[in-house]
Amino acid sequence: MTVQDAAPPLLRVESLRVRFATGSKHLTAVDDVSFEIRAGEVFGLVGESGCGKTVTCRSLIGLFGGAKPEATTGSIRFNGRELLGPSDLDWHSVRGTEIAMIFQDPMTSLNPTMCIGAQIAEGLREHRGLGMREARAATIELLASVGVTAPERRLADYPHSFSGGMRQRVLIAIALACRPHLLIADEPTTALDVTVQDQILKLILKLRDETSMGVLLVTHDLGVIAQTCDRVAVMYAGKIVETASARQLFARPSHPYTRALLNALPAHARRGERLDPIAGEPPNLVAPPSGCRFHPRCTFAIDACREVVPDLVDVEPGHRSACLRVGELG
């Protein structure tokens, strides 16, 4: 056990459920989700679009945008402090200061009517109490740290004059402005070309190494997970179906969904062979399937899978899977 493993977790999420009202019906976007993140660790959350990854992230900062949840239950403990439940919780003291988030779309996450320098300095003055001169100097330093060239000159530029990759760097600078303990990166490389994607991921790892912040990296790209993460949780239809170290997950995937994701990667197909896609579609979470939610698409499903909701069970130290047949799959 390392010193890092012995330390209490920076973030502990237990039995998180987030339910939305859709007319007269209800949709549970996150259903009984639990995981931990330690300081200095990159924890990956992977799964298909619509599986509940972004809702999980937004639960950690209490910010859902236009769609407000009908109910959020469970426990979110950050640095030993419970974030769910207390009516007197001052989100202003947590959001952007102790926990920061990089949102999915760099094209729409920046204010088009404000110059870049003002957008970064706003958080520095609001949360760290810096004066105008101090905030300007800190803004230049932040832009330089995320790889924006000639930061002094670019302070007055507006978002439309930046490329997608540069906008993403600006979002990272804004997220890091208040030196958070936890950085949530929700699909930070979406719509970026491979070269820029690699630069952004290396930048996040570099900043993690320099500050020992924990990182929650959300993606649907297993290649990004392999390149970046220490541990991984695989999410399907609102539930976590497998957790493991990145090394364990790729060497010994133990849930049929994880195996199907890996088998669908181009790297698994030989030249001239067709890819092996996952049959069917993710379920409608207004009326999810009974039993294991993956059973309608699973080639290993048996009758019991249609009736029994599987628990996460230990496969090996640090590796858990929610499959009734986990002992048979090898």
Q: Residues 141-172: pLDDT tens digits?
A: 999 988 899 999 999 999 999 988 899 889 98
What average pLDDT score do residues 31-45 get? 97
Q: What does the H/E/C string look like for 137-178?
A: HHHHHHHHHCCCCCHHHHCCCCHHHCCHHHHHHHHHHHHHCC
E strand segments, the chain = 11-22, 25-37, 42-46, 71-78, 81-82, 99-102, 182-186, 214-219, 231-236, 239-245, 313-316, 319-321
Q: Which of 11-15, 124-128, 263-267, 272-276 has the lowest mean pLDDT?
A: 272-276
- The pLDDT, as a whole number, for residue 315 is 94
What average pLDDT score do residues 27-52 get? 95
61, 91 in Cβ contact below 8 A?
Answer: yes
How would DSSP label each residue in 165-224?
Answer: HHHHHHHHHHHHTT--SEEEEESTTTT--HHHHHHHHHHHHHHHHHH--EEEEEES-HHH
How far are the Cα atoms of 45, 202, 208 from residue 72, in angstroms, in the given order?
Answer: 19, 34, 30
260 pLDDT band, cuts 50/70/90, is very high
Sheet containing 239-245: give its strands across: 99-102, 182-186, 214-219, 42-46, 231-236, 239-245, 319-321, 313-316
In a domain, 269, yes or no: yes
Residue 164: both structure tokens together: 């997608």
Rounded percentage of the chain residues whose pLDDT exceeds 90: 59
3-state SS assignment for residue 21: strand
For residue 273, pLDDT over 80 is answered with no
13, 36 in Cβ contact below 8 A?
Answer: yes
Q: pLDDT for 276-306, tens place per residue?
A: 788 889 999 999 999 999 999 999 999 999 9
For residue 192, pLDDT over 60 is answered with yes
In a domain, 198, yes or no: no
In a domain, 232, yes or no: no
In a domain, 326, yes or no: yes
For residue 3, pLDDT over 50 is answered with no
Q: Which of 5-9, 146-150, 224-228 has the lowest mean pLDDT?
A: 5-9
289, 321 in Cβ contact below 8 A?
Answer: no
43 pLDDT band, cuts 50/70/90, is very high
d(CA 94, CA 98): 5
- The pLDDT, as a whole number, for residue 330 is 63
In a domain, 233, yes or no: no
201, 228 in Cβ contact below 8 A?
Answer: yes
5 pLDDT band, cuts 50/70/90, is low
DSSP 255: S
For residue 40, pLDDT over 70 is answered with yes
For residue 86, pLDDT over 70 is answered with no
The tally of domains found in the chain comes to: 1
Cβ neighbors of 134 (< 8 A, separation 6 or more) are 124
232 pLDDT band, cuts 50/70/90, is very high
* Burial group, residue 105, by CB count within 10 angstroms (0-12, 13-18, 19+): middle
Element containing residue 250 per DSSP (H, E): helix 246-251
- The pLDDT, as a whole number, for residue 265 is 79
Q: pLDDT for 91-120, tens place per residue?
A: 777 887 899 998 877 777 899 999 999 999
How far are the Cα atoms of 40, 123, 196, 297 from residue 213, in angstroms, in the given order?
Answer: 5, 18, 22, 38
For residue 228, pLDDT over 90 is answered with yes
Rounded percentage of the chain residues whose pLDDT exceeds 70: 93
pTM of the predicted model as reported, rounded to 2 decimal places? 0.90
Would you put residue 50 in left (φ > 0), alpha (ψ -120 to 50) or beta?
Answer: left
In a domain, 146, yes or no: no
2 pLDDT band, cuts 50/70/90, is very low
63 pLDDT band, cuts 50/70/90, is confident
Tell me which residue range forms the domain holding 272: 247-330
State the Cα angle at 85 between 79 and 90, rounded to 5°: 65
Please give the mean pLDDT across all residues of the chain: 89
In a domain, 21, yes or no: no
249, 62 in Cβ contact below 8 A?
Answer: no
268 pLDDT band, cuts 50/70/90, is low
d(CA 74, CA 83): 10
d(CA 292, CA 305): 5
Residue 115: both structure tokens together: 């110059």
